[in-house]
A and B are shown apart, each in its own frame.
Chain A
């Protein structure tokens, strides 16, 4: 079945440094790859997404890259700040709004002051 693997499970970086989270997916029909940020006790929030017709997308300090051939996609956060501390989930989905979105296991990101 469909599977999304996410690494690392925990990540600690110095404030101001960059953080990278990597995911791989198994379903070659996947074409939509969102990333969610979940703060403690809160709902997951969509922070950025990318579709298979694009290799890279950037939104201020956040960027996502996609390698369809290798079935890899990554989240890059630059100039990290304390408020970036949270759990981040990657996900993958096939086309259509009726398709389920498969989530990775999550990465707990801690920013050290």
Chain B
């Protein structure tokens, strides 16, 4: 199979703090991982493309200093929401694309609530 693990599944934090979310491909190597934000009953909004060993590519309107992405290995990418504010509250979901067949698999998502 192709399993993508995402942690934590849920986090509640105070305004001004930073939150790190991890995304791991457990049984395949992913040179490319993607981070999305999903609002209730809406589609997946691509935030950034994470490439192993290089800087992430951010979509228009996404602040790179706000959403720090690190892709340290072929199986791990992290998203850090810095100085979180209530408007950052959302469902964040990662995905990893298999090099061999280009199929995309999703993590289970992280529900972030900023108080």
Contact = CB atoms under 8 A, between A and B. Distances in A.
Chain A CB within 10 Å, residue with most, of B31, B103, B107: B103
A70 interface: no
Interface in A72-113: 89, 91, 93, 95-98, 100-106, 108
B32 A103 contact: no
B43 A97 contact: no
Nearest to A6: B43
Contact of A97 (B32, B42, B93, B109): B32
A79 B115 CA distance: 46
B44 A49 contact: no
Given A46-B103, A93-B102, A103 B43 contact: yes
Contacts of B105: 46
B60 to A, nearest CB: 9
Q: Chain A at the B interface: mostly helix, strand, loop or mixed?
A: strand
B97 A97 contact: yes
Interface residues of A, number: 24
A44 B103 contact: no
B23 to A, nearest CB: 11
Nearest to A4: B43
Given A97-B97, A97-B99, A98-B31, A42 B108 contact: yes
B77 to A, nearest CB: 14
B43 A43 contact: no
B34 A100 contact: yes
Contacts of B99: 97
Nearest to B51: A98
Given A44-B44, A97-B102, A98-B32, 19 more contacts: A36-B106, A42-B108, A43-B93, A43-B106, A43-B109, A45-B106, A49-B103, A89-B43, A97-B99, A98-B51, A98-B97, A100-B34, A101-B104, A102-B46, A103-B43, A103-B44, A106-B42, A106-B43, A108-B41
Interface of A: 32, 34, 36, 42-46, 49, 89, 91, 93, 95-98, 100-106, 108
Can you list the 7 inter-chain pairs with the closest CB atoms, starting with the nearest? A43-B106, A97-B99, A105-B43, A97-B97, A98-B32, A106-B43, A103-B44
